[in-house]
Chains A and B, each alone.
Chain A
Amino acid sequence: MAAMLLVSTVSVFAADVKSEDNKHVKLAEVKAIENRADECSMTLTATLGPSFAQIQVTCKGTAATCKEAGAIAISCINVAKSIINK
């Protein structure tokens, strides 16, 4: 009966994603694809840097909850920010 756990693919673009603690996690582009009831994938894309030399960071997070996946993606963006600001 494991197949019963599968849910439809959900894609959300440039939308507010409500995390489990009811706080909005604003992401530029979010693809929340829940292909398993116990897993959530998120993609966060950010543009960093001066106009003529930019870094586009695409961070993907996959975790048991959407909140956790979002936190991974945001953490990844923060790592990029800290490196380029050094």
Chain B
Amino acid sequence: MKFYYTSLATILFFSTTAQQGYDIEYQVRFNNAFDRGRRDGQHKGYLSIRQNLTKFYMIADEKYIPADENDLGFYPDTGLLVYTDLSNSTMIAREYGFDGKPFYLMDSLFPMQWQISNETKMIDSLNCTRAYTVFRGRNYSAWFCPDISIPSGPWKIGGLPGLVIDLSDDRENMVIRFKSIRKASGNINLPPPVDYTMKDHIEKLRKMIEKLQDGARATGSGDCISCQTTSKYEFFTWEKIPR
């Protein structure tokens, strides 16, 4: 009976506010050393939904402390900033260059194929269903809420018949847990459209890898006849670059 009342309350909450927006808060654990080891950091994730527009970003709970002086990774306080406009199927994501400067790129809106399972569970007061997908080289499991008929979710994840409130990859490098949802108002201001696409970005990264490999070969030459070097450049991207 409790389940009935909870579900009814949930439906009423979302059906009576169909024209309003929502703010969803998540707790995010992200392994900064993905594919190389473990160095987990905690973040707060925020998803704002206003009619056809969404905005997601996450803020680190604590400042990243480099492992040593050779850890020259750039860890922005605010990461994974992604906007979507469901009315024209666009996604704009912010990336960072190796110089630490941010830029925007256009990405595909929810290109992933989902397998919706029969698994269900209550998360907070929300009735959720589990779904699985592979996106940019990683396997994800998502819990979405059919009662909240918004096909969005944290980061670039979406395209399900309900809001994604819980997400994790199979190695738990990225674990996004639901914390709260509340009604909200106000606008989302999208950044201006850009010509630079994810495809362009992948091509740019590929060229950089080639340059680095050439650089590694060049390092072996020089005046020092007795010196030898066998350098190796390994590129790690959260969204894996197709070979």
Interface residue ranges, A against B (CB under 8 Å): 14, 26-28, 44-64, 68-69, 72-73, 75-77, 79-81, 83-85
Contact = CB atoms under 8 A, between A and B. Distances in A.
Contacts of B236: 53-56
B74 interface: yes
B195 interface: no
A31 B99 CA distance: 30
A50 B229 contact: no
Interface string B231-243: 1111111110000
Nearest to B209: A55
A56 to B, nearest CB: 5
Interface stretch (B122-130, B160-168, B210-218): B210-218
Nearest to B234: A56
B238 A52 contact: yes
A26 B70 CA distance: 9
B231 A58 contact: yes
Interface string B104-120: 00000000000000000
Nearest to A85: B99
A43 to B, nearest CB: 10
A75 B224 CA distance: 13
Interface stretch (B90-98, B139-147, B176-184): B90-98
A44 B70 contact: yes
Interface in B39-88: 64, 67-76, 79-80
B89 interface: no
B205 A53 contact: yes
A79 B79 contact: no
B7 interface: no
A52 B212 CA distance: 18
Contacts of A48: 72-73, 98
B71 A46 contact: yes
B70 A46 contact: yes
B74 A79 contact: no
A52 B97 CA distance: 10
A27 B79 CA distance: 29
B218 A50 contact: no
Contacts of A72: 219, 224, 227, 229
B67 A58 contact: no
A50 B73 contact: yes
A45 B70 contact: yes
B228 interface: yes
Given A76-B219, A76-B231, A50 B96 contact: yes
Contacts of B99: 85
B226 interface: yes
Contacts of A60: 228-232
A55 B235 contact: yes
